[in-house]
Chains A and B, each alone.
Chain A
Amino acid sequence: MAKFRKDGKKVAPGISTASLPDIVFMLLFFFMVTTTMRESTLLVKKPKLPKATELTKLEKKSLVSSIYVSTPSIDLQAVFGTQPVVQLNESIEDISKIARFVQLEREARNPNDRDFLTMNLKVDSKTKMGIISDIKMELRKANALKLNYSALPKANKK
């Protein structure tokens, strides 16, 4: 006759956490690979980038400086208004400060690489071209001619 154990209460077996580090490491590596370091805190609303199909990847990350153009974030709208503004580094600046910004960014780079400095324009898609034209003019005056209109990939129409 088979014996059935009846002694002791049934205890639910604990879930093994041995694989927990592996799972977390997997997540960690995913984020390490797919993300980039945050450059500056945004004082403007996160620009909704336009979409395009013919994109090129920026080659050298260290030779890229970003210029943000978007409306100021809600808590700063009392100071800067609701029209799109320019953010350089950590502050919202007037367009005329771009030349100084370019100069400082150049000086921060290795002298051999200074000519390859690329300006990455991160502009909200609702912005009017007026401010962009002014920025382009300032960049030309500052002799920062390499420009990248930051955009998100879009599925091709075909």
Chain B
Amino acid sequence: MAQLQKSCAIIFKKHTIMARRPFPEINSASMADIAFMLLIFFLVATTMDSDKGIFRVLPPYIDKPIQDEPIKVLDKNLFVVLINKDDRLMVEKKPMHPDDLRKACKDFLTNMNNDEADKIYPEYNVETIEGIGNVKVTKGIVSIQNDRGTSYDKYIEIQNEIVAAYNEVKDEYSKQYFRKPFKDLNEDQQKAIKALIPQRISEAEPKNIGGK
């Protein structure tokens, strides 16, 4: 036992001697300078630009529109939004405040063929959608027409309101059929909801009344 203790002491002693050997430490005083340099590089070379926006797919360009049979859309299937050069809004031949647009658009998208005295709603197709079954799908199309003098700000506001209306309807349907908000659905369910309420936004060529 005593012998073991002795040998241990020797080993311990050896180690302490080895640990005491001067080991050059890396000087970290310049670390801050290096980090500052990197920081300044990133401050200069980058921007805080947002990469978010309203995504849209444009219709392909047709050189000469086919004259024989223009696609006819029934008047009742169209939700016409007009914006004039003074950024005033006319929806379905009546002036409207932009704040009311979302509600009006939702109303148009969710009601189908139950005409009332003063309101006309769009037609529907009965379609079979996987995961939901046989359902009515609206034939409604939202049509936006702006003037060349309309401000971009107002144009985006109106686009946003209409996309918001579509998104709210999607959410409502998701809750109705899958009991979850749209963003929590899986891919197939989202596809089903998208088929149930297809986002049809048409943009007509702008008029030139207000000028540039």
Contact = CB atoms under 8 A, between A and B. Distances in A.
Interface of A: 17, 20-21, 24-25, 27-28, 31-32, 34-38, 49-58, 61, 64, 83, 118, 120-121, 123-133, 136-137, 139-141, 143, 145-153, 157
B51 A129 contact: no
Given A21-B28, A140-B60, A50 B152 contact: yes
Contact of A129 (B32, B52, B58, B206): B206
Given A28-B35, A55-B53, A148-B56, A125 B42 contact: no
A54 B54 contact: yes
Nearest to A47: B152
A40 to B, nearest CB: 10
A149 B47 CA distance: 18
Interface stretch (B73-81, B119-127, B133-141, B155-163): B155-163
Interface of B: 28, 31-32, 35-36, 38-39, 42-43, 45-61, 99, 146-153, 155-157, 159-160, 163-164, 167, 205-206, 208, 210-212
Nearest to A148: B53
B212 A61 contact: no
B35 A128 contact: no
Contact of A149 (B48, B54, B149, B150): B54
Contacts of B43: 31
Contacts of B159: 52, 149
Given A35-B47, A143-B60, A24 B54 contact: no
B156 to A, nearest CB: 4
A50 to B, nearest CB: 4
A38 B49 CA distance: 9
A129 B148 contact: yes
A24 B53 contact: no
Contact of B52 (A56, A145, A157): A56
A35 B52 contact: no
Contact of B58 (A35, A130, A145, A152): A145
Contacts of A25: 35
Main secondary structure on A side of the interface with B? mixed
Nearest to B58: A145
| Highest count of chain B CB atoms <10 Å: which of A123, A132, A139 | A132
Contacts of B51: 36, 57-58, 61, 64, 120, 150
A147 B60 CA distance: 12
11 contacts: A21-B31, A25-B35, A50-B152, A52-B156, A56-B55, A64-B51, A125-B152, A128-B150, A130-B148, A130-B208, A157-B99
A126 B152 contact: yes
A38 B156 contact: no
Nearest to B43: A31
B52 A20 contact: no
Nearest to B162: A54
A1 to B, nearest CB: 40
Given A24-B35, A31-B46, A35-B46, A133 B206 contact: yes
B88 to A, nearest CB: 14
Nearest to A127: B152
Given A127-B151, A137-B61, 6 more contacts: A27-B39, A31-B43, A50-B157, A61-B51, A139-B58, A151-B50
Given A54-B160, A147-B55, A148-B53, A129 B151 contact: yes
